[in-house]
Structure 1
Amino acid sequence: MKNKTNIVLIISFLVFIVCLGSCSKQIKAKEYDSASYKRFKENKLRYEKFNEFLTDFKFSEVKGIGYEKGVTRRDPSSIIKVDSLYYVWYTRPQENTKVVGIREANESSRAYAWDLSDIWYATSPDGYNWTEKGIAVNRGEKGRFDARTVCTADILVANNKYYLFYQAAATLEQGRVPVGTFGGDFLSNKIGMSWASSPNGPWHRMEEPILAVGAPDQWDGNVVHDPSLIVRGGKYWMYYKSSPRTPYIVENLKGNVFSKKYGDIVNAWGVAIADNPEGPYIKSKYNPVVVGGHEVIVWPYKKGVCAFVTEGPERNSIQFSEDGVNFYPVAHGLQKPEAAGFYRPSNFTDTDSLPGQGVTWGLSHVLGESDYLRRVDCDLSLKKAEKVNANYQQTIEWMNKK
């Protein structure tokens, strides 16, 4: 009896050992991940060779709209191609008018670099050799919202027409007085529009502005700047830059209503959407859609929107949004193309019918005593992306292969 009991105990013990070994194989060893590795996996970050949004921006001089002493050319628009010529629009103030600051400015001297400006345009057969054609849209008559300056334009092609969007100011009285001699801006300015049947004009000015600043306590209570257009989902998306009324960041603001909710924001971007090119443009309830940035640099990519954000907490990054509202950084630490306007190969075709092809070149400005335009080249094309993503997918499939 005692021997039988021992045998049973031995067998039970052996069964327990076998089960324990089997179970231990099924229990996954605990993984210890650093914060860096967690960000890498959770945010779906990619190394350079797998990232379609990484590129080098290379700059070169152009003829015709490059450096010229005493002449300022800045803030180029998106570039379009009509027949055999490329077209660009840009800000050009009166020649030999000095920037003296808001305190000393008058009818023949500028408060800011973009003061006393008109919208000029130029054409090129190759993107390097440009011919300046003259004024496209000039300042409005006295008493209008665009009488003092029109600047920082962007182009839209729609319904067999050409539309220019631009920021505008009425009088010097709109100018904010900075602490020092220079700095400041035209506050509570407007965004205006002109249209033409040809890129060469003549341009017909809309009587009323198409966008104004928000309420004094909102994120866009100061200015509306840098309109830039995307066509997607059968609608016209106008991205713009603004800033909140925050005396700790923007000195010498007039009034007693401020944007306390947005007190830690310096600049941000919003979007206003319309069913027709002429508007009305309705601001998104999700604004601001990009926290940071300075000049608005956007372009259609696939069925979404790409943005280059030059300032703020995510400075010098490319960001991508599938829905045009929720942007996520996809490339960091890039050399910035200052105020770039890129060539739009689709000429503003709706991304629902033709996915955005990306960008490969454009124009940016160089700031100095006489601001000027230069060419910028890169490779943010859909063609490159297809190769990069195919390589990445092969790697993922290998990692998941049993």
Structure 2
Amino acid sequence: MKTLFLIILSLFSLFIYGNNHIGTDSYPDSTYTNPLKVFVADPYVLKVEDTYYLYGTSVANMGFKVWESNDLVNWEEKGFAFSKFEEGNEWGQGDFWAPEVVSYKNKYYMIYSARASDGHLKIALAESSSPIGPFLNIKAPLFDKGFSNIDGHIFIDSDGTPYLFYVRDCSENIIDGKHISQIYVQKMSKDLLTLEGDPILVVEPSQDWEGIGEDWQWNEGPFVIKENGIYYLLYSANYFASPEYAIGYATADNPMGPWIKSEDNPILSKDLSLGVSGPGHCSVTNSPDSSELFIVYHSHAFPKSPSGIRVLNIDRIYFNENGELRIKGPTRTPQPFPY
């Protein structure tokens, strides 16, 4: 019965969103064009040797799909990486959001958020021996602070220390009468099952482009990369269904901070003349030959009617001579194929 239900749900998803697989003959060998027609929000890409795996908010009432690619452009849907109908995964009731997967100590760990039976959004940890799953909960919730937390991001430093970046969700995080999403960080135990020490505030809305005069404000979707001993935190601000959803970054000398936002923010934002609305919630990965970095992000599938329906994009991201992050995008014209 469970298998039949999954088949029916997948067919329904195809009816609503169309085929999420773009064939290799859809692009010339030398170029690709955004968006990539994979309907997914909050995209996260994991590279394992020569293969890429894509996860994201996809079937929010049930779990997470996974896609596979060998070139970052052509993606094949491989089914559900995580399903709440698998035995042991019954904890989450819905609102399955923003999964990320790390390879760690010969296992694959998925961090994700979902709504618990008490109504709060919480972060959970699942495990699999394969990047395509099935992922099964090993600690759900991973922690419980009595209020909603989302957008978990596990960063493994070069010395092997794991850190968890996560968001205090604005639905319940009220400061001076305003609903504000803030990003925090804590060290994790070596088995990833415990948070250590007190939570440290990383960033919160503080720049004009982040709507700091509004009653609802967001800093969310953290993703950390390290370059030449400097830590770079990419994050998103503003409401996810607004054209103003965009990406900024902050830097630090230590994962625990202090973190300083770039004065050049946002570094990726709307361009309605190109049909780009609400670019945000990103991850970063290498090109197939590891010579370039690509940012993977979503934008609104229907820019004239922004909503929760979002679509996949990739663009080149790099560090300039001053160590500042720059993105060659957003693009809607043919771009050189990632090699």
| TM bucket normalised to smaller | 0.5 to 0.7
The answer as to 2:93 corresponding to 1:71 is: yes
Q: Which amino acid aligns with 2:253?
A: D
By how many angstroms is 1:64 displaced?
5.1
Residues 142-191 of structure 1, C-alpha deviation per residue, up to 9 Å, x if partnerless? xxxxx42111111100132111111104774739x9xxxxxxxx832211
Residue in 2 aligned with 1:399? none
Secondary structure class of the residue paired with 1:327: strand
Secondary structure class of the residue paired with 1:129: coil
Greater radius of gyration (CA): 1
Conserved in 2, the CA contact under 8 Å of 1:272 and 1:282?
yes
TM-score normalised to the size of structure 2?
A: 0.60
By how many angstroms is 1:79 displaced?
1.8
Residues 357-402 of structure 1, C-alpha deviation per residue, up to 9 Å, x if partnerless? xxxxxxxxxxxxxxxxxxxxxxxxxxx944xxxxxxxxxxxxxxxx
* 1:91 corresponds to which of 85, 95, 113: 113
The answer as to 2:325 corresponding to 1:325 is: yes
Conserved in 2, the CA contact under 8 Å of 1:119 and 1:135?
yes
Residue in 2 aligned with 1:156? 155
The answer as to 2:122 corresponding to 1:118 is: yes
Quick one: distance in 2 between partners of 1:275 and 1:295?
25
* 1:225 corresponds to which of 215, 220, 223: 220
Q: Which amino acid aligns with 1:94?
A: A
Distance 1:315 1:130, change over 3 A: closer
Quick one: distance in 1 between partners of 2:315 and 2:238?
20
Quick one: distance in 1 between partners of 2:204 and 2:122?
20
Distance 1:316 1:81, change over 3 A: closer
Conserved in 2, the CA contact under 8 Å of 1:152 and 1:167?
yes
Quick one: distance in 2 between partners of 1:77 and 1:194?
18
Conserved in 1, the CA contact under 8 Å of 2:80 and 2:134?
yes
Quick one: distance in 2 between partners of 1:54 and 1:77?
18
By how many angstroms is 1:138 displaced?
2.2
Conserved in 2, the CA contact under 8 Å of 1:270 and 1:290?
yes
Distance 1:165 1:241, change over 3 A: same
Conserved in 1, the CA contact under 8 Å of 2:279 and 2:297?
no
How many residue pairs get aligned? The number is 239
Quick one: distance in 2 between partners of 1:229 and 1:77?
15
Secondary structure class of the residue paired with 1:206: strand
Which deviates the most, 58-67 or 157-166?
58-67
Q: By percentage of residues, which structure has more helix?
A: 1
Please provide the CA RMSD for this pair: 3.5
Q: By percentage of residues, which structure has more strand?
A: 2
Percent of pairs with identical residues: 16
The answer as to 2:261 corresponding to 1:283 is: yes
The answer as to 2:77 corresponding to 1:59 is: yes
By how many angstroms is 1:196 displaced?
1.6
Distance 1:173 1:238, change over 3 A: closer
Q: Which runs of 5+ in 1 are unaligned?
A: 1-46, 96-107, 110-115, 141-146, 178-185, 251-264, 335-383, 387-402
* 1:267 corresponds to which of 234, 239, 245: 245
Q: Which amino acid aligns with 2:188?
A: A
Q: Which amino acid aligns with 2:149?
A: V
Quick one: distance in 1 between partners of 2:96 and 2:115?
9
Distance 1:286 1:82, change over 3 A: same
Conserved in 1, the CA contact under 8 Å of 2:200 and 2:256?
no
By how many angstroms is 1:84 displaced?
2.3
Distance 1:207 1:49, change over 3 A: closer
By how many angstroms is 1:81 displaced?
1.5
Matches within 5 A, 1:158-197: 158=157, 159-169=159-169, 172=172, 174=174, 187-197=179-189
* 2:234 corresponds to which of 239, 244, 250: 239
Matches within 5 A, 1:1-400: 48-51=28-31, 55-62=73-80, 65-66=83-84, 71-72=93-94, 74-95=96-117, 108-109=118-119, 116-127=120-131, 128-135=133-140, 137-140=142-145, 147-158=146-157, 159-169=159-169, 172=172, 174=174, 187-215=179-207, 217-221=208-212, 222-243=217-238, 266-292=244-270, 293=278, 295-301=280-286, 302=291, 304-311=293-300, 316-323=312-319, 325-329=325-329, 332=332, 385-386=338-339
Distance 1:155 1:168, change over 3 A: same
Residue in 2 aligned with 1:254? none
TM-score normalised to the size of structure 1?
A: 0.51
Conserved in 2, the CA contact under 8 Å of 1:271 and 1:283?
yes
Distance 1:330 1:243, change over 3 A: closer
By how many angstroms is 1:198 displaced?
1.4
Secondary structure class of the residue paired with 1:148: coil
Quick one: distance in 2 between partners of 1:227 and 1:150?
13
Residues 111-144 of structure 1, C-alpha deviation per residue, up to 9 Å, x if partnerless? xxxxx1221011111122222112364232xxxx
Distance 1:220 1:229, change over 3 A: farther
